[in-house]
Amino acid sequence: MAPEARRRLITIAIVAFVLGLLIIPSLFSNKTVKTISYSALIHDARHSGVISASINTSSGVVTGQLSNGTNYTANGPAPALTDEVTTFQTNNVVVTFANPSSFLSTFLPYLIWILIFVGFFVFANRQAKGQMNGMMSVGRSKAKQFNQDRPTTTFADVAGYFGVKQEISEVVEFLKTPARYKEIGAMIPKGILLVGPPGTGKTMLARAVAGEAGVPFFSVSGSDFMEMFVGVGASRVRDLFATARKQSPAIVFIDEIDSIGRKRGAGVGGGHDEREQTLNQMLNEMDGFDPTEGVVVIAATNRPDVLDPALLRPGRFDRQIVVPLPDLDERLPILEVHAKGKPLDATVSLEMVARGTPGMSGADLANLVNESALHAVRRHSVTIGMEDFENARDRVMMGQLRDTMVLMDDERERIAFHESGHALLAYVLDKTDPLHKITIIPRGMALGVTMTLPEEDRHIMSRQHLEDSLCMRMGGRVAELLVYGDLSTGAADDLQRNTELARRMVREWGMSKEIGPMAWGSNNQVFLGEDLMHTRDYSDHTSQIIDDEVERILREQEARAIEVLTLHRRGLEALTRSLLEHETIDGETAAHLIDEAHGEPVHAHGTKTVSTLTGITRASVKKAELAAAPAAVQPTPAPTPNWQPPTLPAV
């Protein structure tokens, strides 16, 4: 029970007890007591009207019973007069004498009220003391301590990331058996920084350290150091490290360290004094004049570019461990961990699910398994089947299905042509990702979706792949232009993404002959800890060249999309008719329609699609079949670009 609730319960019990002492005796007293004068009592006694009389020798109060059965009370002299006592006795009145003036009976009423007041003042004093302690403890650390008897997560619960777990386990092993490392002169890193995209399991790895370490483990978030009072953050840092130092060897985990570790003097207004004081104190505690021994700091962030350089230098965070998105070999064990204990159908292949979910983080995979279970419940199934995983993947990657949204017939037809343009180019072009599914049912914020999936994890992209991606995104706009002769607002997102990609090709990746091998970063770095007014590091003339090159790339890909869609106009119309009839078609069906409308297969090596999780890729055939395949009509190649790779000088 919470202390506040316990105090409230005790107060209510005391009040109820006192009220009971005062009220309950009167409730059980069912006899009527008549108050009479002393002279009337003497008169009734002389005329045989009194049966008994109890005389209080200290107060003179006389109580008893009259002959008619009524109880009475009368105030007499104290001490009682001898003649009047004789009168009672001579008239057959039973006379008794009482002296109830004991200590308890005399002081009990006063004692009760004294206890009430004392209890009230004690309660008020504790309340004031608690508030004072709260004010005085504002500078204490809010870190949660986990001891070795509270393991919750271990490395066995973290699937994949074998290299990451190995590096972290070295720290845990050093804290358990430091003698092995000291014999050879090895020093444990003072700080380990976990860097990676959101959802990759950085916090879970830290929880696994808490379960494996066997030493005191302190967990705190970076935002817990910040308060409205100046100096509180630095005080909490001091308190945290002082507590950890007393229990060393120990591990301190700081989640989202970028909230206090931003570059000093950066951001709007030049910086934040309270945050910078907190950072300075942390720098001093980690590797200052009085270095901390036996305390290892583990921090996690998904924004390492905003951290202060002094925080990242050796001696503070000696080791930076990248926690990337899981690859195929890591997605499978992650799915197995999250699917543990769930009733899977015999047809479910988690390997197929792993192959069909490239680019998903550990959190995305956990959500995928949960969404598949929810879908199985909605269709009243007791097991989770492959169709549930398929639906869950579409839900995660394409958005929530909005099948209740009603579109007008002309809007529906335009959307069908738009998505068919995307799908046809995704299938025909060589370097685009394989086609997975097309739908004109609104999902998420989109009125229609064309979904492609990579065949395997991709870490770098070639210029041809980027150009094919630009051309594919132009497909919706170009299809509307070819069919209707005008444009709509449906291509707004496509144009924005294409412009951003083309600008990065020119400005950051050196894919322009006019610009050459030069690169400039993005200007939008206010929220990355840089200054508000970012100075552009190229001239106006270079800016104009960049704009011209971006325009050239986009116009070339638009012209290329027009040529390909013109060549495959019958396939475009066939896809549109199928979409208007079925609303959703998979990649294999779309490929069959395009090939049939074209008169022969577009690709000599099969259909470049990713249809369902049960048949991931349909683009690979045996080399003998590929060699024996008839020559097929190839898609219109891209126009010869103005850019050519530079000629290397002879050695």
Q: Hey, which residues are catalytic here?
A: 419
Q: 521 to each of 503, 504, 506, how far by Cα in Å?
A: 11, 9, 11
Q: Which two tokens stand for residue 642?
A: 């103005």
Q: Left if phi > 0, otherwise alpha if psi is -120 to 50, otherwise beta: which for 286?
A: alpha
Instruction: Name the nearest CA neighbour of 638 among 419, 418, 470, 462.
Output: 470
Q: 372 to each of 64, 394, 396, 439, how far by Cα in Å?
A: 87, 10, 10, 20
Instruction: Name the nearest CA neighbour of 227 among 239, 215, 219, 235.
Output: 235
Instruction: Name the nearest CA neighbour of 328 among 291, 300, 365, 299.
Output: 365
- The residue with tokens 């995660």 is 396
Side chain identity, residue 114: I
Q: 375 to each of 379, 444, 524, how far by Cα in Å?
A: 6, 17, 40
Element (H, E) at 71: strand 71-75
- The residue with tokens 């994890």 is 457
Burial class (CB within 10 angstroms; exposed 0-12, middle 13-18, buried 19+) of 184:
exposed
Give the dihedral sign, CA 602/607/609/612.
positive
Give the dihedral sign, CA 376/382/384/386.
negative
Side chain identity, residue 9: L
Structural contact between residues 146 and 303, judged by C-beta atoms closer than 8 angstroms: no
Q: How far is CA 617 from the centre of its chain?
A: 34
Q: Left if phi > 0, otherwise alpha if psi is -120 to 50, otherwise beta: which for 13?
A: alpha
Report helix angle 409-428 to 540-567, nearest 10.
100
Q: What is the dihedral of CA 9, 11, 12, 18, to 10 degrees?
A: 140
- The residue with tokens 């583990």 is 298
CA-to-CA distance for 111 and 465, rounded, in angstroms?
91
Instruction: Name the nearest CA neighbour of 479 among 550, 428, 553.
Output: 428
The pairing of strands 191-195 and 295-301 is parallel
Structural contact between residues 365 and 396, judged by C-beta atoms closer than 8 angstroms: no
